[in-house]
Amino acid sequence: MTDDRHETKGQPATGSAALFASCPRCGAKTLFAGPVKFAERCETCGLDFAKFNVGDGPAAFLTMIVGAFVVVLALWLQLSLEPPWWVHVLLWVPLIIGGVVLGLRLTKGWLLSTEYRRRAEEHRHEVSDSE
């Protein structure tokens, strides 16, 4: 952690890479080809995103977190205002879809960026060990 400025020169921080769907190597906004699907590789620097194994682990957690959040809000709305059923549909369906998609983009981008940095750090140690 003393001198990683050289290793991370030009690379976005993990948080901003996740927030802006940026390539962890060059910072171009090329991480996703679809709403939650990674691109095959970075169109700018050629980094192969397919070799990173982020998986679908975040999806289950996000669905449960967003689901719990929406259930609490829906119960509160129903008990306090008693709106007709279609108000719940109009409110919660877009919120669930948007929350899960946005959450998946953030967590998958964050995980890929973290894995990229960890591999870069391991590679740096391998190089310095062989010298």
104 touches Zn ion (CB under 5 A): no
- Given the complex with Zn ion, which of 92 and 116 has the nearer CB atom? 116
Among 13, 19, 26, 102, binds Zn ion (CB under 5 A): 26
Phi, psi of 41 (to 5 degrees): -155, 165
42 binds Zn ion (CB under 5 A): yes
Segment 7-10 long-range contacts (CB within 8 Å, at least 24 positions apart): 7/120, 7/121, 7/124, 8/117
Q: Of 41, 29, 47, nearest to 117 (Cα)?
A: 47
Work out how close the CB of 34 gets to Zn ion at its nearest, in angstroms, rounded to a whole number. Answer: 18
CB of 28 to Zn ion, least distance (A): 5
**Residues within the interface to Zn ion (CB under 5 A):** 23, 25-26, 28, 42, 44-45, 47
